[in-house]
Amino acid sequence: MTSSLIAVDPVDPLMTEILADFPSDLFNDNFYYSWELIDRYGREWVIELAHDLGLEDPLREPVTLGALQDRLNFVPAFSHALSWIVRGLEEAGHVAAAGTGDSTTYALQRSLPPSHREAVRRACLETDPANQPTLDLLDAAARAYPAVARGEVKGQEALFGLGQTQLWLDYFSNANPIYAVNNHLAAHVAVLHLAPGPLRILEVGAGAGSGSEALLAALTAQGRLSDIELYHFTEPSPFFRRRAERGFRAAYPDLPWQFGGLDLDEEIPAPTVEREGYDLIYAVNVIHVARDLDRSLPQLRAALRPGGWLVAAESIRPHAGRTISTEMIFQILEDFWDVELDPERRPTPGFLTPEQWTRLFEENGFVDVEVLPDHYRIREVYPRFCTGVVCGRA
């Protein structure tokens, strides 16, 4: 497809083969072209941020990330965002890396080009005007970077302050095609894995409820809404939780709802004689922010009935260290990067590779672990694809 502004390569036919078992409207042409342009938009922001943050001059000579941070007087909390920007420059061929670990140095290969972000933005909106919430949230995050780097504001304040709530509601919405695909894929996978009979569902990190909407629609389509014995909707944010509760009690007044503020970093109640386990634990874009996955994953497994499933929609990092454009939004948020790391199993905050997710699920007691679609094949064909679901059975 070629818009009047920006050319995008056609979809590789092998992708159609790999995704043949999934609904055709999930990964359609609109999603593909939109994602290609949004990915490019984020990478244009990387160039613009490198200019805005003054990275070009210090990168003319080999420099470690620590020395770069010190030279520019950036606050320690900005180190993850700085690393992400420099790695983005490296992936684009603007910067070369040498060495390993903390001793790795980075140096410009050539002067940084000007940003073409505005042209890419116009092309993205021309492809689908519904892409605007993703572009707007990327803009809000990127424009906060310089102030966050200097310690003038924290990322949480910049992105969750007064006037920013609607940005997040618009982004985490099924009207936003780039985000909605996560919800619909998770719902599709969940319904496929559920055994016949009564259903007890726990949703963690449910936000404003767009993932719940997708799951309830999928269960309705399968004629299984009446099977729900309990839908336990949990979200730590009182604002999002109360908003969702008002909407769902009105839309589904006969469902056996329970609303709560469960936080993945706190105790997750295990089944008892008085309290049964769940058939499904459903999590859309939340497991990666658990501070200690080796604590949270066993608790989630223990909360399931035998044979129950954890279905977690996650952005999948194709290869270790590779950046994903939309994670620019989260690099300045403490909840995203302040997690327990492990050099092999969880080497970086945020999104993980299919191997890392599989290992974490299996080592924490899940069986029949899958990463769907098949990211092992997809990354060899289309390494920018990152939408996925990790699921495992108790």
Q: Model confidence over 218-246: pLDDT tens digits?
A: 999 999 999 999 999 999 999 999 999 99
Name the CA dihedral angle for 318, 320, 326, 331, rounded to a multiple of 10 degrees.
Answer: 170
In whole angstroms, give the CA distance from residue 312 to residue 351. 12
pLDDT given for residue 265 in this prediction: 92
Q: How do 278-284 and 304-315 pair as beta strands?
A: parallel
pLDDT mean over 333-355: 92
pLDDT given for residue 12 in this prediction: 87
DSSP per residue, 79-107? HHHHHHHHHHHHHTTSEEEESSGGG-EEE
Q: How do 278-284 and 257-260 pair as beta strands?
A: unpaired
Nearest Cα neighbor of 35 from 355, 324, 320 is: 324
pLDDT given for residue 186 in this prediction: 97
Q: Which domains does the chain have, with CATH numbers?
A: 13-171 (no CATH), 177-393 (3.40.50.150)
Which pairs from 136-139 meet CB under 8 Å and 24+ separation?
A: 136/167, 136/170, 136/171, 137/167, 137/168, 137/170, 137/171, 137/329, 138/38, 138/41, 138/42, 138/45, 138/325, 138/326, 138/328, 138/329
Residue at token pair 């990327």: 138
* Spatial contact of 252 and 226, defined as CB atoms under 8 Å apart: no
pLDDT mean over 332-346: 92
Q: Model confidence over 159-191: pLDDT tens digits?
A: 988 678 899 999 999 999 999 999 999 999 999
Q: Model confidence over 240-290: pLDDT tens digits?
A: 999 999 999 999 999 999 999 999 999 988 877 567 899 999 999 999 999
**Chain-centre distance for alpha carbon 228:** 28
In whole angstroms, give the CA distance from residue 309 to residue 258. 19
In whole angstroms, give the CA distance from residue 109 to residue 93. 7
pLDDT given for residue 73 in this prediction: 96
Nearest Cα neighbor of 169 from 204, 138, 207, 141 is: 207
DSSP per residue, 292-321? -HHHHHHHHHHTEEEEEEEEEEEEBPSSTT
Residue 57 reports pLDDT greater than 60: yes
273 to each of 270, 276, 301, how far by Cα in Å?
10, 7, 17
Q: 90-129 burial string, b = 16+ CB within 10 Å, else e?
A: bebebbeeeeeeeebbbebeeebeebbbeebbebbbebbe
Residue 154 reports pLDDT greater than 70: yes
pLDDT given for residue 273 in this prediction: 55
Confidence band of 11 (pLDDT split at 50, 70, 90): confident
In whole angstroms, give the CA distance from residue 265 to residue 263. 5
The fraction of the chain above a pLDDT of 90, given in percent, is: 88
pLDDT mean over 293-311: 96
pLDDT given for residue 4 in this prediction: 46
Q: Model confidence over 110-152: pLDDT tens digits?
A: 899 999 999 999 999 999 999 999 999 999 999 999 999 999 9
Confidence band of 98 (pLDDT split at 50, 70, 90): very high
Is the whole-model pTM more than 0.95?
no
